[in-house]
Structure 1
Amino acid sequence: MKSTGVVRKIDELGRIVIPKELRRTLDINVKDPIEIFTSENKVILQKYQADMACMITGEILDDNQTFGNGNIVLSQEGMALLQEELEIKLGKKREEMLNAE
């Protein structure tokens, strides 16, 4: 876990303010749900991600599909983006292999 060097006080209602730059970096927006975990003597805040959220686009749609025994969730758009990137990377690998011969 990386320290940000930011210290905040808890107000009388038990609230803390997460700095704007940190929210921007972690893509946390107004009204986003945040999960709260505890581990030993630590409180961990994490942006909530639904089980069926696409791992590439973040979309939560009824037609999202799972792969790899449920470990990978992709939307149609996410699959298209992944396919495009794989084709580019695999094309470069093929070129490298052909040039090496």
Structure 2
Amino acid sequence: MMKSTGIVRKVDELGRVVIPIELRRTLGIGEKDALEIYVDGERIMLKKYEPACIFCGNAENVTYFKGKIVCHECLNEMPIPVTK
């Protein structure tokens, strides 16, 4: 459920909106943290980005495999290639 904070911010000439420090502290958003952007009708929603497995969506125990994020469980389920 969305809760109004009563805070209003204007978009600057470069299209940026400043998220108030109180909200960033409350939500654990630090400098240089990545945020995912979602659109729902006329709403824009921001969510702190958590890398997740491309196969199952798990965000725990993930690693990069050939440039993709994969969890350890899915890595263990991958077939072993047969060498010729």
What band does the TM-score fall into relative to the shorter chain?
Answer: 0.5 to 0.7
**TM-score (structure 2 length as normaliser):** 0.63
Measure the CA separation in 1 of the matches of 2:33 and 2:5.
Answer: 21
Following TM superposition, where does structure 1 have runs of at least 4 consecutive aligned residues deviating by more than 4 angstroms? Answer: none
Partners of 1:2 and 1:26 lie apart in 2 by 14
| Count of matched residue positions in the alignment of Structure 1 and Structure 2 | 60
| Equivalent residue runs for 1:32-47 within 5 Å | 32-47=33-48
**RMSD of equivalent CA atoms:** 1.8
2:44 counterpart letter in structure 1: V
Structure holding more strand per residue: 2
Long gaps (5+) in structure 1: 55-59, 67-101
TM-score w.r.t. the length of structure 1 is 0.53
- Runs (5+) with no aligned partner, structure 2: 53-57, 64-70, 74-84
**What SS does the aligned partner of 1:25 have?**
helix
* Partners of 2:34 and 2:48 within 8 A in 1: yes
Q: Deviations over 1:73-99 (max 9, x none)?
A: xxxxxxxxxxxxxxxxxxxxxxxxxxx
* Bigger Rg, structure 1 or 2: 1
Deviation at 1:44, TM superposition (A): 0.5
